[in-house]
Structure 1
Amino acid sequence: MPTRLQWLRIKLFHGWFLLRRPMTLGVRGIVHDADKGTVFLIRHTYIAGWQLPGGGVEVGETMRLSLERELAEEGNIEFTGEPRLVSIHLNRQASPRDHVALYLITQFRQTAPKLPDHEIAEAGFFPLDALPDATTPATRRRLAEVFGEAVPEHHW
């Protein structure tokens, strides 16, 4: 058990580190229905293109919990098995310190179709070989890395 002085030093160190090297962390999920050969994609109301569901990891939240929350919010999707961490990427388009953890979800259920709301304009399952034309390049790259023969990239 750390002494009060040790605890204070730890807190000061972490505070200094946060100021010197702030980093953001996000999660994305490939929700894959293997029986149908489909993946779940969303289209936001505030940015263009179809993409994988996900979002930012909140303070005090694990990546897995964040993924669970985001999939529930963006797709009414619940896990029935554990997601698998596939890769972690640097997303330089967002900021030079933004990282995205990509998960594969193959055991799930959708409790209800996702209806449009203030954040999600459209959502649905699409065949891997017939993605919407407006699917983002990053989404296509991640799907090719997981289901195709593309070499994984370190950048989103």
Structure 2
Amino acid sequence: MIRARLFHFWFRLSRPMTLGMRGVVYDRAAGSVFLVRHTYVKGWHFPGGGVEPGESTEAALARELVEEGNIEILGRPELKSFHFNRLASRRDHVAVYLITDFRQTRPHVPDREIAEARFFPLDALPVDVSDGTRRRIAEIFEGAPVSDEW
């Protein structure tokens, strides 16, 4: 756990600019979204992560969804918004995609990065959903104005 935190800290400081993405995996039939709880940061978040050199945001999104939730994207994700994440660093930017055409091959088994991962109904989110995740839910599903900041 300390090793993961140190790596995360080093990663944030070692890059001149960071680009990440988050996937809002939405099950229309159940009215639920997929959230993950990391081992190294508090709260529930949308799955996602950093875009590697030579990788598109959509390729990174597909990779992260498989890694964090065993979720395969079946149709093209919809880019919903783009945000400056000054809370992470003054160099961090996050693209947010909505995914409605997907399949989960099997439930996620806890590992060193993801302690828990599952779907939650929009009207029954966990109490400790991160503020950024709550804001994106309000923007996408409740018509709140889209902020350029995470």
Whether the TM-score (by the shorter chain) exceeds 0.5 is yes
Distance 1:83 1:137 in 2: 23
Aligned-residue offset at 1:97: 1.2
Distance 1:100 1:34 in 2: 24
Tell me, yes or no, if structure 1 residue 136 matches structure 2 residue 130: yes
Query: Over residues 9-60 of structure 1, what are the superposed CA-to-partner deviations in whole Å (9 max), with x where a residue is unaligned?
Result: xxxxxxxxxxxx9311000000000010000000000100000000000011
Give the residue type in structure 2 aligned to 1:22: P
Tell me, yes or no, if structure 1 residue 51 matches structure 2 residue 45: yes
Tell me, yes or no, if structure 1 residue 84 matches structure 2 residue 82: no
Segments of structure 1 that go 5 or more residues without pairing to the other structure are: 1-20
Distance 1:87 1:97 in 2: 17
The structure whose Rg is larger is 1
Q: Secondary structure at the match of 1:43?
A: strand
Give the corresponding residue for 1:3.
Answer: none
Q: TM-score, normalised by structure 1?
A: 0.86
Give the corresponding residue for 1:116.
Answer: 110
Distance 2:34 2:74 in 1: 16
Q: TM-score, normalised by structure 2?
A: 0.89
Tell me, yes or no, if structure 1 residue 99 matches structure 2 residue 87: no
Give the corresponding residue for 1:38.
Answer: 32
Segments of structure 2 that go 5 or more residues without pairing to the other structure are: 1-14
Give the corresponding residue for 1:16.
Answer: none
Give the corresponding residue for 1:17.
Answer: none
Which ranges of 4 or more aligned residues in structure 1 deviate by more than 4 Å? none
Distance 2:148 2:73 in 1: 27
CA RMSD of aligned residues (A): 1.0
Give the residue type in structure 2 aligned to 1:33: D
Aligned-residue offset at 1:128: 0.3
Aligned-residue offset at 1:80: 1.0
